[in-house]
Structure 1
Amino acid sequence: MSEFKRERRYLVAKVRDVEAALSDDDKRQLSALMDKVEHHREQQGKPPLECVVVESDWPNYQETWDSVQEVWEANQGKA
């Protein structure tokens, strides 16, 4: 069995940070790029991507990682 390893699998931008850091043009470009990615998922027959994000300073951050690891370990060998 392989070992559980945390990976950077998603790109996440907090809305508040986007609003503060990007110009109106940057925000339009970001929106257009996200639309392209969503359209690609749709073309591949995939549902819209829905995720839960837990920031590292939240008290349930480690608990969330532990839960993800438990699910991963339970699914090893089921492929």
Structure 2
Amino acid sequence: MEISRSLSAPLRTLERDGLLLRTVYPEAPIRVEYELTPLGETLRGPLKALTDWSVQHIKEVLEAREEYDERAGKR
């Protein structure tokens, strides 16, 4: 899987922050794999909670967006 430049920069930042481990395999073409570090693993719970909240409240968020867009369009 080819990773675009727009994705590689955030991945490098996560690596720098100690959340990801990046392994480069000197093949043709070069292969790069990413995995969570132990520190990155600690984010699984909070990210799952955020995902669960998002799924539970998506209808309200979409309604709020529509209301906002309607107000913004009336100006």
TM over 0.5: no
Higher relative CO (CA 8 A, sep ≥ 6), structure 1 or 2?
Answer: 1
| TM-score normalised according to structure 2 size | 0.29
| TM-score normalised according to structure 1 size | 0.28
Which of the two has greater strand per residue? 2
Q: Greater CA radius of gyration, 1 or 2? A: 2
